[in-house]
Structures are given as C-alpha cells and as structure tokens.
Amino acid sequence: MAQDTDARGAASSAEKRAAWVQACRLRTLPLAAAGSVVAAALAADAHAFRWSVFVLMFLTSVALQVIANFADDYGDLASGLDDDSRVGPRRGMQRGIISVPEMRRALAGLVAATLALGVALVIVAFASGPALGGGTVVAAVVFVALGVASIAAAMLYTMGRHPYGYVGLGDLMSFLFFGVVAVVGGTFLYTHAFSLVAVVAAVALGLPVAAVMNVNNMRDAIRDRAKGKRTVANALGDPAMRVYETALVVASVALFLLSAALCGVRSPLAYLVILVACVPWARALVSMWRIPDPERFDRLMGPMSGGSVIVAAVFALVVVIAG
C-alpha cells in the first residue's frame, strides 16, 4: 500500500514538473532571445561588444518571455478562454495541475528576479563602454523604466481588467518590445548611441515576432471572436490574415538584407546565406496557403518561430564575419 502511495506521489510530482515546463513554452524562448543576438552582432560590428552585457541581456530577455507565457496561462484561464473548446494541448492551469496561488507566486518570484537582472544589466552596461558624461544617470533611469514597462507589457497581455491582447494590440506590442526595444535598446547598452542600422534591424526582427503571434491568432481566430477576444487575425478574416502574415515575413527578409548592407556586408555569398536561412519561413508560408482550415496552423508555429531564430542567428554571423 505504501509503495502504491509513493508511486502515485511520484507520478503527481512528475506531472507537475511537466506542467511547469509546458507553461514555460520552451519553443518560444529562443525567439525572445533573438533580439539579444542581433544587438550583440551590431555591437560587435561597432567594436563595442561585451560578454557581460550579452549574458545579462540574454537572461533578461528569456525571463521576460517566461513571464509573458505564465501570465498568458493565468489570464486566459481567468477570462474563460482556456476551456474545453481551446485548440491545442491542455495547459497545466487548465487541467488543475498548477493552481492559481502557485502561478501567482511563480509570477511574483520571476518578476523580482527579472527586475534584479535588468538592474544588473543597466549597471554593467553603463559602468563601462563609451562615455556618456552627464547623461549616464539619465540613460540608466530611462532603461530601468523600460525594463519595468517590458515586465508590465509581458503581464498585461492577458492579465488585468483591460488586457491589450484582447483588443488587437498583441502583434504591435510584441513587435515593439521583442523587436524594437530589444534591438535598438540592446545595441544602445553596448554602444551608448543610436544608429540607423539598429532601427532597421529592429524592425526586421520585430516583424517575424509579430508573425509568430499572428499564426497563433489565425489558428484561434473563430474561437477568439466567439469569446470576445479581438486580434488582427480575426479582424482581417480569411484570406486577408494570410496576406498579412506573408507581408510580415517578406518585409522582414528585405529589411534583414538592408541591415546587412548598412553593416558594410559586400559579399554576394553572404546575402545568399541569409536568403537560404529564410527557407523555413518560405516553406511555412507555402504550407499556410495550402492548409484550408486555420485551426490546423499549429504545425506552422515551429517553422515560423524556429525560422525566425535561424534567420536572426545567421544575420548575426554574417555581420560579424563579413561586416
């Protein structure tokens, strides 16, 4: 009898660990960290790269994405979106394996840890590198405020009285925080200056981040509309939401190529390498247009998210090697 009880307890513990791992949504983390990689490449091109800044920026980016994922589970359950009609795997909170108090404690701890990482990043970034003179304190305060805003944005996507993810702003906010802020802000932490190439590269990365969000929303478009959740996907409808997805990806490819040119890349082979890295995106888009039912778009999440990471990493290597 004791052995049976121990076995059930072990199974329950394993199930809970698996539920927490699922809540982290590991496949979303590399894309969240892609901004750190792109910023590091631009910093290296400007001869301003520092490992201490990179490591702290990378960890902060990943932590922000986990906060967003935990908050998404919490908010969707509270709003009634995570019910039996949901497409895709049942989440830990939805199955009752992770309780509401447990998720609240996890979010509180993660927010505290992310704030600590962010403050450490700002201190390390402005303690060395190009001098800012009297502007150092102002820049540090601005970046701490940006960090707080990033945490708030990660949580308020589905949490709070008026979650912005339910009024069609999810794509825009993902583009801004995991694209523009990550790359432009990240590059500034290295170089202590703004540059045109950072802005172009930020938009280039932000567009596929929004595209990944849109794939998820296309899959859930009908159900979200029925639940009162507004997204760009269900506002556009089919096939306009597929056109939107295609435009995001094509524009991203063009801007990554432009960013490479602004970094001084001259080798035609380097541009060919970037284009080859875009093949997973191309295949995902072809599949998207061939799949009649958007509820089957789950299979596109991997190629779109993973493809974005590949393109960002290849772009970074091209800039460092050939820039």
- Whether the ω angle into residue 30 lies within 30 degrees of 0, i.e. cis, is no
Structural domain of 171: 28-322
pLDDT at 9: 46
Burial of 81 (0-12, 13-18, 19+ CB in 10 A): buried
Q: Is residue 6 in a domain?
A: no
Q: Is residue 9 in a domain?
A: no
- In angstroms, the CA 238 to CA 242 distance is 7
- pLDDT tens digits, one per residue of 17-49: 888 888 888 888 999 999 999 999 999 999 999
Q: Which of the residue ranges 96-105, 183-192, 263-272 would you say has the lowest mean pLDDT?
A: 96-105
Domain count, the chain: 1
Query: Model's pTM, two decimal places?
Result: 0.88
User: The tokens 């701490």 sit on which residue?
Assistant: 144
How much is the mean pLDDT over the chain? 88
Q: Is residue 15 in a domain?
A: no
Q: Is residue 199 in a domain?
A: yes
- pLDDT tens digits, one per residue of 232-253: 999 999 999 999 999 999 999 9
Q: Is residue 3 in a domain?
A: no
User: The tokens 């089919």 sit on which residue?
Assistant: 238
Q: Is residue 122 in a domain?
A: yes
Q: Is residue 174 in a domain?
A: yes
- Above pLDDT 70, what percent of the chain? 90
Q: Is residue 23 in a domain?
A: no
What band does 90 get if pLDDT is binned at 50, 70 and 90? low
